[in-house]
Structure 1
């Protein structure tokens, strides 16, 4: 399909259906495990019709992953020097936890890509993502030097926030197996993580 040509409403609808079905398939089975047959069936389209919109499974995966990356980077961009440092970090952790609740498929897709060695996004990880994390680490170091937060390694602080929040999406079956069904554990997690990071960041 010519990407430069204007799309009709039905083309927009079919493209959205394909990407949503692909997100389901890739987040559950990974790139290797998902098939075009799976995606076309879930999207309610024939395989030839799907291939009219996307030339290959790789093309679909790259577009889905690109959307996930944009979504994933937004909360980190909002970590700024505008407010109280502890409030900024706690708010960042809460935004990441909310993403785990609202976008579990996207989280699992990203995790699957990383586990495969990040073949399609390594340049982004080593480029724009590293640059952004370096900038936020410098911001956190500035807060530490000014005595506004405890002396803490900024990189491992960010990694910790990623791991403690994304766990609730990537290991959802384990969380629910232990805590039971329902979403109440997100509220409990939010309260726990706020206490955890406030305690860790408050200067002694």
Structure 2
């Protein structure tokens, strides 16, 4: 029977994953080293290797944890709800994820930009199945005249682009906006944009 991890082990593992998220989201998988992660975590490299045998193992653990929650905003889109409210709710949930989990968003973006070598199977299975399921709901709403005629897959892609941009290009957004709070303005803009786009 495996002993449960001690409090120190739990703390060190959490520190490694948090440090890995920092470093991977900044430098990407190829640009990250175990030395960088260990230094950021405040641990020695041998101590880090006690918990994770490689940077691949740390990266895999981060992606697995990320994908557990990454699809939740789309899963919450309810086919029995008001169509426009449901779609705008999805857009706002995605925006909130960019605001609250910017490192995770950049980790995901880096993986996609590299051709998704570690999560391609999940993209082609779990992600595709979920997107197709929700696209069918959106298409049914459009066919029933409840929303404007619109390609549901490209609608979902547009929501990804318009929300994840704020996390993935945070430095650029803040350089342009200066002291303005980006997410407050983004929320208002998305509400107005999709209200006009979707109204039949």
TM-score, normalised via structure 2 length? 0.97
| 1:80 CA drift (Å) | 1.1
Partner of 2:120: 122
| 1:69 CA drift (Å) | 1.4
| 1:181 CA drift (Å) | 4.0
Of 180, 183, 188 in structure 2, the residue corresponding to residue 186 of structure 1 is 183
Of 190, 194, 197 in structure 1, the residue corresponding to residue 194 of structure 2 is 197
The one-character-per-residue Cα deviations of 1:149-204 (angstroms, maximum 9, x if unpaired) are 1110000000000000000010111111111145x12111100101101111110x
Between the aligned partners of 2:114 and 2:179, the Cα distance in structure 1 is 30
Is the partner of 1:33 in helix, strand or coil? coil
Partner of 2:150: 152
| 1:72 CA drift (Å) | 1.1
- Which stretches of structure 1, 4 residues or longer, exceed 6 Å deviation after superposition? none
The one-character-per-residue Cα deviations of 1:26-69 (angstroms, maximum 9, x if unpaired) are 00000111111111111111101100000111000000111111
| 1:71 CA drift (Å) | 2.0
Q: How many correspondences in the alignment? A: 200
With over 3 angstroms needed to count, the CA separation of the structure-2 counterparts of 1:188 and 1:138, relative to structure 1, is same
Q: CA RMSD in A?
A: 1.2
| 1:103 CA drift (Å) | 0.7
Partner of 1:103: 101
The one-character-per-residue Cα deviations of 1:51-110 (angstroms, maximum 9, x if unpaired) are 000011100000011111122111011011132010000010001111111111101110
Gap regions ≥5 residues in structure 2: none
